[in-house]
Structure 1
Amino acid sequence: MRNKKVFFILPVVFFVLLIVALRSLNSKSNVLQFYLMDSGKKDVFEYLTQKFCAETKSRYKIKILTAGDSRLYLRARIEKNDIPDVIAMDGNSIYTELAEGGYLMNLEKEKFIKSINEHYINMLYQINGSKGREILGIPYAVNASGLMYNKAIFEKYGLIPPKTWSELMNVCTVLKEAGIPAFAMSFGENWTALPVWNNIVPVIVPDSFIEQKNSGNTSFLQTHREVLEKYAALLNYTKGTEAISSVYLDAVNDFANGKIAMMINGIWTVPLVKRANPDARIDTIVFPSSDVESENTVNSGIDIVLTISKTSEKKRIAKKIVQFLLRPENSQIYIDRHYSFSTVNGVTQNDPSFAGLIEIMKEGRISDFPDHYYPAGFDLASILTDFARNKEKRIPDEKNITATLARCDSEYEQCLKLR
């Protein structure tokens, strides 16, 4: 009798285990992994993907994934041959690595490509590396960087927003005489050293620099001296020693509260300025790197590229999600929440803090962030931070510039060898 009970119970147990296993398998097969490189944007993508599921009544669950170190995380997933179905990534060397590695699905035949501004498709080609003109991702949102200025300070001193380098230097002179630091800069966090460089380089340095540098036919020493000469000139109009030790939020707060007149940074700074001082009146204009006004461009690059894994088993639903995100009303939700510009035709950014950039962007006077094209591991931010610190230590500009550019060449070439 006891043996009969055992024989009766065992099939029941196996049946239950089988049901659990099948449910688990089915659960995993119904989950689409959406990896987001910038965890700060998780809120809006969770909202939009939930909106997608509600409107389409999709049987799929979309799981938003983030990680502390995106590059290490993605490399680990690649090694396991387990790449997330959809990746929303930065338009920089990480995208280039995945594109060149053959990990991304070619989307050039998809109809939703037609909704994207052609300028940003061309910008995507430039970061495709060896993949040339393949469309391995969809530019979704772009950032912009320029010269933000405090309208109240400019009005008080009768200043006109500068359109040329000479006009900018004249503004700095007036502000210095009034005892007001011209620029809110902070070198307590290395990355904040980059916006000045990224704004000046596209105007001063030949477009062919990256190609020529990678083939060993030019150098930073040969081509970037004027960039650092102008960077050094700007450093004469900061808070000096205090700028060297201060962090990004210190600079933002000073700028927002009228203690400093201008800030060279990206539009991602605007929500922080508004949080620090809701009454702050600011505008963002093209940084005037040149004395020829028409040569100055809006520094704008791809902030988010939507990509689909080449090995994903859920390509069909992944493409539907991308198409959904590209709908004008959804793109508008994204740029309104995260203060950026859309790549989708007809979707506009209407925040008055960007008024000075919008018309220039419509004219097509746009240049990408040069550091998007540098090899992985090239720590330009640290190099430029040391440049600013050396300036504060009163190391002569000529010596500081030469040493900094030589270091750029050396470290850049080391990174190329590790590719």
Structure 2
Amino acid sequence: MRKRGKAAACLMITALTAIAAVLPGCQPPDRKGKIEIELVQYKPEAVEVFEMLEEKFNASHDNIHLTIESPNDAMTILKTRFIREDAPDIIGIGGDINYPNFLDSEMLMDISDYRGLADINPSYLTIDKQLEFIPMNGTYAVPYVANAAGVLYNRAMFQENGWEIPETWEEFKALCDTIQAAGIQPLYFGFKDTWNCLAPWNAIAVDLAPADVCSRVNRGETTFTEQYREVAERMLELLPYGQKDPFSYGYNDACTAFARGQSAMFTIGSYAVPQIKSVNPDMDIDTFVLPASDNAQENVLNSGIDLQFSVMADCPEKEAAYEVLDFLLADENVQAYLDNQNAVPCKNGDFKLPSMLDGVADYIKEGKMVDYQDHHYPTEMAVDALIQTYLIQKDTDAFLAGFDQDWQRYNRDLIAKVQRYEEEHPDTGAEGGTNQ
């Protein structure tokens, strides 16, 4: 074992039990001679499927022993372990702001030579490149599964009333008016939980704002006041179609209300389906893209990487780590994860998608997907709370001005770094692959 903490623990056990002569080395007898690979992943809700995969891997590999850990608050644990120089071999994290932070710290291995990358949907590889603060040569993560956000809808209710799926913003509002006229509430919001405000925000922004708006702001080329005005205004247009006080109800309330038929639609991601089905297991749910644009051709699916694997830069057993990745990417193992977590595969292949993604399956196959804008927002800025406050106060000018001001405040060092890079590499410009 190479880990300093584990080595110390083994030495202590040996000393206390005084059987060093009986157990040569610090590995249990059944692991003697095996390469140890440790994977720490950040989704505790997926612990069941990862326990199955760990057991399956170890039963089928004689030369490698895999340990998969799925702790609560994994990101805090990982950061603590990094400080202690006790990193695992592989980490499983989301395609959010944590990924470029780790990448910027030079903690991840360039895995450009990993052959499994050829099977990954190029759209998700592009999303990862766009997360980079400054352009990086190489590839540092294998996108595994994604999720999708738009509008969940009660398919049975739609079929019963003959409602058609809208393809433009005006058609969407007309649908909401029709549903209201039928005495049914169109939408239900869980805006008491501030993060719920990000679901419709992201779904609208992917149609109306540049995908690389954050990069452009960092380079000093534009402002959020210029790029987010229409996004903000359309967020306000949603409110009349929900319950009277959306800020008194949280995520669980909204899931329960939608499950009980108290609204025809719910502006949330596919990740909410298990919670909804826990209330109404027989509910027939489908998804459509929230059509924020007035041009149907501009519609894209809001989809981001929910889980991806990175090999740590100091992993001494690169080939063994690649063998673990090969196992995880085997079609049957990807399908097992999809079935367990209602996820979207980042790997190309003939996978069976959850039925609640029927309405967006073509977007996934065609790669018409754009990442969540909030994956590029610094956590400290608390953009979800800013949006909630805006929806309460309804002052668009103040909200946008505050967004720009807070962005400069919380990204001061990053902006300086990006602009310094631009000065040193004047020929790269906007094509350099900086974060969206």
- What displacement does 1:22 show? 5.1
- Residue 18 of structure 2 is aligned to residue 16 of structure 1: yes
Structure 1 residues 406, 269: CA separation in 2 closer, same or farther (over 3 Å shift)?
Answer: same
After alignment, is 151-160 or 401-410 more displaced?
Answer: 151-160
Query: 1:217 is matched with which residue: 221, 225, 228?
Result: 221
Match of 2:151 in 1: 147
- What displacement does 1:46 show? 1.6
- Residue 263 of structure 2 is aligned to residue 260 of structure 1: yes
What letter is aligned with 1:401? T
Match of 1:378 in 2: 381
- What displacement does 1:219 show? 1.6
What letter is aligned with 1:82? D
Q: What SS does structure 1 have at the residue aligned with 2:351?
A: coil
- Residue 92 of structure 2 is aligned to residue 49 of structure 1: no
Match of 1:193 in 2: 197
Report if the CA contact (8 A) 2:38-2:68 is conserved. Answer: yes
% identity of equivalent residues: 29
What letter is aligned with 2:103? A
Q: Give the distance between the partners of 1:112 and 1:157, measured in 2 at CA.
A: 46
Match of 1:9 in 2: none
Query: 2:400 is matched with which residue: 391, 405, 410?
Result: 405
Q: TM-score, normalised by structure 1?
A: 0.89
Match of 1:369 in 2: 372
Q: Give the distance between the partners of 1:413 and 1:38, measured in 2 at CA.
A: 31
Report if the CA contact (8 A) 2:147-2:306 is conserved. Answer: yes
Match of 1:100 in 2: 104
Q: What SS does structure 1 have at the residue aligned with 2:386?
A: helix
- What displacement does 1:318 show? 1.8
Q: Give the distance between the partners of 2:156 and 2:337, measured in 1 at CA.
A: 30
- What displacement does 1:154 show? 2.2
Match of 1:417 in 2: 412
After alignment, is 409-418 or 25-34 more displaced?
Answer: 25-34
- What displacement does 1:155 show? 3.2
Match of 2:65 in 1: 60
Q: Give the distance between the partners of 1:297 and 1:235, measured in 2 at CA.
A: 22
Report if the CA contact (8 A) 1:196-1:264 is conserved. Answer: yes
- What displacement does 1:25 show? 6.2
Report if the CA contact (8 A) 1:378-1:412 is conserved. Answer: yes
Query: 1:39 is matched with which residue: 26, 35, 44?
Result: 44
Structure 1 residues 61, 286: CA separation in 2 closer, same or farther (over 3 Å shift)?
Answer: closer
Q: Give the distance between the partners of 2:244 and 2:184, measured in 1 at CA.
A: 12
Structure 1 residues 207, 14: CA separation in 2 closer, same or farther (over 3 Å shift)?
Answer: closer
Q: Give the distance between the partners of 2:276 and 2:16, measured in 1 at CA.
A: 61
The number of equivalent residue pairs is 397
Query: 1:160 is matched with which residue: 149, 155, 164?
Result: 164
Q: What SS does structure 2 have at the residue aligned with 1:299?
A: strand
Q: Give the distance between the partners of 1:22 and 1:65, measured in 2 at CA.
A: 30
Match of 2:4 in 1: none
Q: TM-score, normalised by structure 2?
A: 0.85
- What displacement does 1:69 show? 5.7
- What displacement does 1:52 show? 0.7
- What displacement does 1:271 show? 1.9
Match of 1:125 in 2: 129
Match of 1:76 in 2: 80
Match of 1:316 in 2: 319
After alignment, is 163-172 or 61-70 more displaced?
Answer: 61-70
Structure 1 residues 79, 179: CA separation in 2 closer, same or farther (over 3 Å shift)?
Answer: same
Q: Counterparts in 2 of 1:247-396, with a 5 A limit?
A: 247-390=250-393
Structure 1 residues 59, 205: CA separation in 2 closer, same or farther (over 3 Å shift)?
Answer: closer
- What displacement does 1:339 show? 0.6
Name stretches of at least 5 consecutive residues in structure 1 with no aligned partner.
1-12, 391-396
User: Residue deviations 1:232-263, cap 9 Å, x none?
Assistant: 0001111021x211111111111112110101
Report if the CA contact (8 A) 2:286-2:355 is conserved. Answer: yes
Report if the CA contact (8 A) 1:36-1:89 is conserved. Answer: yes
- What displacement does 1:225 show? 0.8
Name stretches of at least 5 consecutive residues in structure 2 with no aligned partner.
1-14, 415-436
User: Residue deviations 1:130-188, cap 9 Å, x none?
Assistant: 35341111001111111111123323433211111111111111222233221111112
Structure 1 residues 14, 415: CA separation in 2 closer, same or farther (over 3 Å shift)?
Answer: closer
Structure 1 residues 352, 205: CA separation in 2 closer, same or farther (over 3 Å shift)?
Answer: same
Q: What SS does structure 1 have at the residue aligned with 2:297?
A: helix
Report if the CA contact (8 A) 1:289-1:296 is conserved. Answer: yes
Structure 1 residues 385, 349: CA separation in 2 closer, same or farther (over 3 Å shift)?
Answer: farther
Q: What SS does structure 2 have at the residue aligned with 1:305?
A: strand
Q: Give the distance between the partners of 1:69 and 1:402, measured in 2 at CA.
A: 38
Match of 1:393 in 2: none
What letter is aligned with 1:264? T
Query: 1:87 is matched with which residue: 83, 86, 91?
Result: 91
Report if the CA contact (8 A) 2:377-2:383 is conserved. Answer: no
Structure 1 residues 199, 417: CA separation in 2 closer, same or farther (over 3 Å shift)?
Answer: same
Q: Give the distance between the partners of 1:127 and 1:363, measured in 2 at CA.
A: 21
Q: Give the distance between the partners of 1:34 and 1:168, measured in 2 at CA.
A: 44
- What displacement does 1:376 show? 4.1
Structure 1 residues 341, 14: CA separation in 2 closer, same or farther (over 3 Å shift)?
Answer: closer
Report if the CA contact (8 A) 2:150-2:302 is conserved. Answer: yes
After alignment, is 232-241 or 145-154 more displaced?
Answer: 145-154
Report if the CA contact (8 A) 2:117-2:142 is conserved. Answer: yes
User: Residue deviations 1:2-47, cap 9 Å, x none?
Assistant: xxxxxxxxxxx99936448854367899643211112111221121
- Residue 150 of structure 2 is aligned to residue 111 of structure 1: no
Report if the CA contact (8 A) 2:64-2:320 is conserved. Answer: no
Report if the CA contact (8 A) 2:37-2:64 is conserved. Answer: no
